Amino acid sequence: MPNDPILHLLGLARKAGRLEIGEEPVGAVCRARQARLVLLASDAAANTNRRAAHFGEAGNVLWLEVPYSKAELGFHLGRGSCAMLAITDAGFAAAVTEKLAARDPERYGPAAQQLRQKADRVLQRQKEKRQHEKNLQNGKKKPWAVPNSAQKKSAAPSGQRKGKGESSGAPETRSPRSGSPRPGQKHRPGPGGRKLSGTFRHKP
């Protein structure tokens, strides 16, 4: 199958570094939750199928059996044999399952729809991240707006001195005079219980 589009996509994913081949590499990316799709050869052993199911549960990833033998997958991926592989890119995973769904909609249709939704969400997050980084590089700010008239009439700065006659709003406190009694204080009587007057008598 030299012109098979599915095998061609798998070859492109391998060249892009988005493909892991073999049980150990597939298990590693599944445990790291980096795998997006696990594929099994049609003639893979039952033990290999159980391991693929275990990897899928550990990495919360979908795994499918493809209509290609181990020899066919290995030949197109530069290996002698390939029973299990994992795709680590959401776009490649969605494209491969869509090609499989075009051949067998009942078998691969739900998986293709699920992976396409995941790929769209990943693509949207990537676009938002790139736009955010671009805004940071360009120093994008909010658009200039005409200041409100009420904002122009702002209060005087706190450090500005006030002129004479201007009060700060707080009542002034004056110290009482030395001769006047304080509020609530009574006159004390002089010697003998008499009040002291302010005049002195002079002897003739």
For 131-186, the pLDDT digits (tens) are 888 888 887 555 565 666 655 555 545 555 555 545 555 555 555 555 555 555 55
Residue 40 is inside which H or E element, if any? strand 37-40
Residue 63 is inside which H or E element, if any? strand 63-65
Token pair 């589009």 is at which residue? 5
Residue 120: both structure tokens together: 């769209």
For 83-133, the pLDDT digits (tens) are 999 999 999 999 999 999 999 999 999 999 999 998 888 888 878 888 888
What is the residue extent of each domain of the chain? 5-138
* Of residues 156, 116, 154, 20, the one with CA closest to residue 77: 20
pTM over 0.85: no
CATH code for the structural domain at 5-138: 3.30.1330.30
